[in-house]
Amino acid sequence: MLWWQGILVILGVILAAWVLLKLFKVSFKIIWKLLVNALIGGLVLFVLNFIPGVNMPINWLTTILTGLFGVPAILVIFIVSLF
């Protein structure tokens, strides 16, 4: 996956999550927290892929997991990517 494709996946998941949460009338504070977590998680995944030997995929699942669970999800994805 090229670097710009990863960024597009992250932005697509963030947009889809925002639309879905708006449909269910979730408060803006919760939406903002999830969006910030997803953005930070996606950026951390992107930066960690620069470490030699680390190949952490950036797709809709990993972006959603990092958006919902934050740093613990990144650690789990990192451990899983090692095997």
- Could you give phi then psi for residue 19, rounded to 5 degrees? -65, -45
Q: 8-44: per-residue pLDDT in tens?
A: 887 887 788 778 777 877 777 777 887 788 788 878 8
Burial 33-51 (b: 16+ CB within 10 A, else e): ebbebbbebbebbeebbee
| pLDDT at residue 81, as a whole number | 79
Q: Please give the pLDDT value at position 19.
A: 83
Quick: pLDDT tens for 55-65.
Answer: 888 787 887 78
Categorize the per-residue pLDDT at 69 as very low, low, confident or very high, splitting at 50, 70 and 90: confident
pLDDT of residue 1: 66
Residue 27 neighbours by CB distance under 10 Å: 9
Share the mean pLDDT of the chain. Answer: 80
Share of the chain above pLDDT 90, in %: 0
